Structure 1
Amino acid sequence: MNLYGNRDEQAAFWFLKLQEPDVKAEELDAALDWIDACDDNRRAFERMQHCWHAGNPAALAATPSTPAVAPSESAAPTPRMPLARMLWTAAVLLLMVAVGVGIRTNAPWPDTPQLERYATAVGEIRRIELLDGSEMTLGGASSVAVEYRAETRRVVLVDGEILLKVTRQPERPFVVEAGGGYARVLGTVFSVRRGTEGVTVGVAEGLVEVGLSGADAAPVQLPLGREVTYSASAGVGPVRAINPARVGAWSRGVLTFIDRPLAAVVADINRYSPHLVVIDNDALKSLRVTGTVGVQGIEEWLKALQNVSAITLDDSGTDWVLRRADVQH
């Protein structure tokens, strides 16, 4: 019995659409519109991604294939093969994209718009040199699309987190789009993370402009050692001071959390955990957490939570389940 219904079919459709070698920019935008339309869509997409990267791409293929519908209600093309086969076909395409990544600093700038896609598995950290010489690091279970145009360099963060060291090209600004907003730079080092709280941008070097796409409100300027979180529904939040050395610490195998809800912490951890971490109690999701986690010591960190809060960890099954210690099961 499928517990999630047709939403997972739609999530699978868009996930696979983003792996196609000839995906168009408008199809990319339609996929992002569907993902950002509501929290349930995003959670379905993340379930699909986690099953895929965990090595079980057919896990969500039990229901009949259903075409996804973008928020505009225009129907997407119907898949022409069974979903399970589509998943395995996309695996080959994804591998081809990953193998094709190389150092291309001296490559000529394309005469026409060029779109490339990159993705990582759960627990994988991948460093890529882009066509303009910029360096991009993808965190675990992350996916991006990169578009090169004559007048701009555009990165769309579909899911996860990235760390960017951008080469300075004043005639060609570098823009990262995610969750209904953007970060624009000329040359700097900064990180962008999509999470349950929204999109967070942190600056390690230089200056970054952050704003909502199509909004009347003026964007904010983030200098060295500052970060901000935004979402299409809540707008741009307050600017916070941070340690610049903490920006992109995950790229060195360290996850840091400062006064964040446990639900957001678990969402980040699941990009690196060998087992899906599940919170089995709504009250626990809002528990505020501060800590540092090594990506190789996630289970030990979860066990340590039992010593400082009313939490028990059940790691006897496929998933690692966090429960309230005072609730009987």
Structure 2
Amino acid sequence: MTIEGDVDTRRKEAADWFARLNQRTVTTADVRGFSDWRRDPENARAFSRVEAMWEAAGTLAKNPDMANLTRDAAAAAKPARKPKLATGRLIPIGVVGALTLALGAGGVLWMSQQPTRYATAVGEQRTIQLEDGSRIILDTGSEVAVRFTGGRRSVTLNNGQAMFDVEGDPARPFIVAAGDTRVTAIGTRFDVRRSGTGARVILVEGRVDVRREAAADGRWALSPGQEVTTSALRPTIATANVPASTSWTSGRLTFENTPIAEAVAEVNRYSREPIELRDSRISSVQVSGVFNAGDIDGFVAALSDLYALQATRAEDGRIVLSGPA
């Protein structure tokens, strides 16, 4: 038997055992037979792959390609008993057959083309080390989808903010998509934050090219210390306060002559119990200071002391800042 044939046989056997062991009734003979079959390390690995595929099925089922594959396999399969998973869901054996097909060369290729997603909850930050040595720092309430191929490294910033520290590789440009904006880099460090339909891009070091897909004149080449917000009415390159704008990566929020309303909105990104400013007289007043991200109490105390505000807790958990009675 060829190596390819041996692998195919193990794959089919693994899918068959997976179906048997998830039926409503599993016989003692089945358990013993599976134990004997699984003693072979190659068989054990094949079975683990089938289990991993099924664990991923909840997500894959939403993908049109996998849905079509599963539907075709189920339609072609002969009527069979319906195994029951530990979760209580019933699946046709034909679906297991579809998973087996997906483990083949074409399925492995299809799986490798799917992006890997990383996300943070409100108030959480996360550092992701990518396979090429590049690094992503995800800010609060953010999500990225990463897909690497032989000729391209692609990341989609679905929402939120991220700092990218990119390893140089001229043969594989590193491209970040954020709304209608594309940021292309080879080896560099830059910050991207979703803004409307586009993004704000700040270059820390190196060089990046920024492009807005829908605009004929929407191309900018940034140098270190520069930024551009592509969603602005007339986007232009401006000088960035890099230390202040990127201080979030070390857990701090830095405000320099920032309108209080904007500062409140920024602080709220890190809390599930937001601040509500009910004193319009100070909303446009500029404030400067450094606060720990997520330190709502410290920020509220500072504003209360400076502007004689009263802080009360609403029933839904919001902190309401209002002027003196």
Under a length normalisation based on structure 1, what TM-score does the superposition of the two structures give?
Answer: 0.58
1:193–1:289 Cα change, 3 Å: farther
After superposition, the CA RMSD in angstroms is 3.3
The count of residues paired between Structure 1 and Structure 2 equals 225
Aligned counterpart in structure 1 of residue 307 of structure 2, from 306, 309, 317 = 309
Q: How does 1:1-329 map to 2 (within 5 A)?
A: 20-21=59-60, 113-195=113-195, 199-231=199-231, 234-243=233-242, 245-280=243-278, 285-309=283-307, 311-315=309-313, 317-325=315-323
Bigger radius of gyration, 1 or 2?
A: 2
4+ aligned runs moved over 6 Å, structure 1? none
Deviation at residue 179 of structure 1 after TM alignment: 3.4
Give the gaps of 5 or more residues in structure 1: 1-18, 27-108
Whether the 8 Å CA contact 2:200–2:230 is kept in 1: the answer is yes
Deviation at residue 294 of structure 1 after TM alignment: 0.7
Whether the 8 Å CA contact 2:203–2:223 is kept in 1: the answer is yes
Alpha-carbon distance in 1 for matches of 2:279, 2:61:
43
Deviation at residue 167 of structure 1 after TM alignment: 0.8
1:20–1:258 Cα change, 3 Å: farther
Whether the 8 Å CA contact 1:201–1:228 is kept in 2: the answer is yes
Alpha-carbon distance in 2 for matches of 1:195, 1:289:
22
**Which amino acid is the alignment partner of residue 216 of structure 1?**
A
1:322–1:238 Cα change, 3 Å: farther
Other-structure match for 1:30 = none
What SS class does the counterpart of residue 272 from structure 1 fall into?
Answer: coil
Instruction: Return the structure number with greater helix share.
Output: 2
Whether the 8 Å CA contact 1:182–1:211 is kept in 2: the answer is yes
Whether the 8 Å CA contact 1:183–1:211 is kept in 2: the answer is yes
1:218–1:271 Cα change, 3 Å: closer
1:150–1:254 Cα change, 3 Å: same
Deviation at residue 162 of structure 1 after TM alignment: 0.7
Residue by residue over 1:278-320, the C-alpha shift from the partner in whole angstroms, topping out at 9 and shown as x without a partner, is: 3346676544443321125331112211233364432364433
Give the gaps of 5 or more residues in structure 2: 1-57, 66-108
Deviation at residue 168 of structure 1 after TM alignment: 0.8
Whether the 8 Å CA contact 2:205–2:223 is kept in 1: the answer is yes
Alpha-carbon distance in 1 for matches of 2:205, 2:286:
29
Whether the 8 Å CA contact 2:206–2:223 is kept in 1: the answer is yes
Percent of aligned positions that are identical: 32
1:276–1:324 Cα change, 3 Å: closer
What SS class does the counterpart of residue 170 from structure 1 fall into?
Answer: coil
Alpha-carbon distance in 1 for matches of 2:151, 2:204:
25
